[in-house]
């Protein structure tokens, strides 16, 4: 972390040392400012992978979701070092699943882009980027920032940790998850804004009086 150079009201900013960067993207998923998925406007992140910015990840998620045809619709965030690498439809590939900030999962479900989200990481016993699995688990459990918000329906999310050789196990666990999601009621997208209109505010005031 170094002194800011962009004039924003924070004392420090992240600076990447290219000679030390493993291009895992975990820092992108860890940065609190890398979470503005509420709007379709340009994402302004605190840190990005030059070759895979968060904006591009959101675009790939939206494009992949638009092609989902099977019911229920499952969107997969897959580690390129695990069993999901290039062998399943509906997958958005990542250098590490921890590159995806939890609000991205919230975005997918709240916008009804999919009925369920599969986070398909690499082998739990040998995470390619060491901290990817542990930090993803902690974010989803609410013990590490950025946290997966409590409003996100956990029954529509599954994490599967498989090596590149465990494609059969990945397929089996996804099939079980698909059956579970098929039993759930249809998704209802949340309004894009949570602010009350003037009429709603007035009605609430009248009820309170």
Q: How far apart are CA 72 and CA 147, in angstroms?
A: 26
Write the DSSP string, 35-102: ---SSSSPP--S--BTTB-HHHHHHHHHHHHHT--SSS-EEEEEETTBTTTTTSTTEEEES-GGGS-H
pTM of the model: 0.82
pLDDT the model gives residue 208 = 44
pLDDT level of residue 36 (50, 70, 90 thresholds): low
Mean pLDDT of the chain: 84
> pLDDT tens digits, residue range 53-63?
988 999 999 99
For 109-158, the pLDDT digits (tens) are 999 999 999 999 999 888 899 899 999 999 999 999 999 999 999 999 99
- For the stretch 158-191, pLDDT in tens is 999 999 999 999 999 999 999 999 999 987 766 6
The residues near 52 (Cβ < 8 Å, ≥ 6 apart) are: 25, 95, 99
For residue 155, what pLDDT is reported? 97
Phi and psi for 25 in degrees, rounded to 5?
80, 0
Cα(109)–Cα(205) distance, integer angstroms: 32
């Amino acid at each position: 972390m170094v002194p800011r150079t962009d004039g924003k009201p924070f004392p420090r900013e992240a600076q990447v040392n290219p000679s030390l960067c493993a291009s895992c993207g975990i820092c992108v998923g860890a940065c609190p400012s890398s979470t503005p998925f509420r709007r379709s406007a340009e994402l302004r992140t605190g840190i990005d992978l030059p070759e895979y910015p968060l904006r591009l990840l959101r675009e790939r998620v939206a494009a992949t979701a638009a092609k989902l045809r099977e019911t229920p619709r499952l969107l997969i965030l897959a580690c390129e070092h695990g069993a999901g690498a290039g062998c399943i439809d509906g997958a958005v590939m990542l250098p590490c699943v921890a590159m995806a900030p939890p609000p991205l999962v919230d975005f997918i479900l709240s916008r009804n882009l999919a009925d369920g989200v599969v986070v398909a990481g690499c082998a739990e016993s040998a995470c390619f980027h060491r901290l990817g699995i542990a930090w993803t688990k902690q974010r989803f459990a609410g013990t590490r920032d950025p946290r997966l918000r409590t409003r996100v329906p956990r029954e529509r999310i599954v994490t599967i940790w498989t090596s590149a050789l465990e494609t059969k196990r990945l397929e089996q666990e996804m099939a079980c998850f698909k059956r579970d999601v098929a039993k759930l009621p249809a998704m209802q997208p949340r309004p894009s804004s949570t602010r009350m209109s003037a009429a709603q505010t007035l009605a609430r005031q009248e009820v309170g009086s």
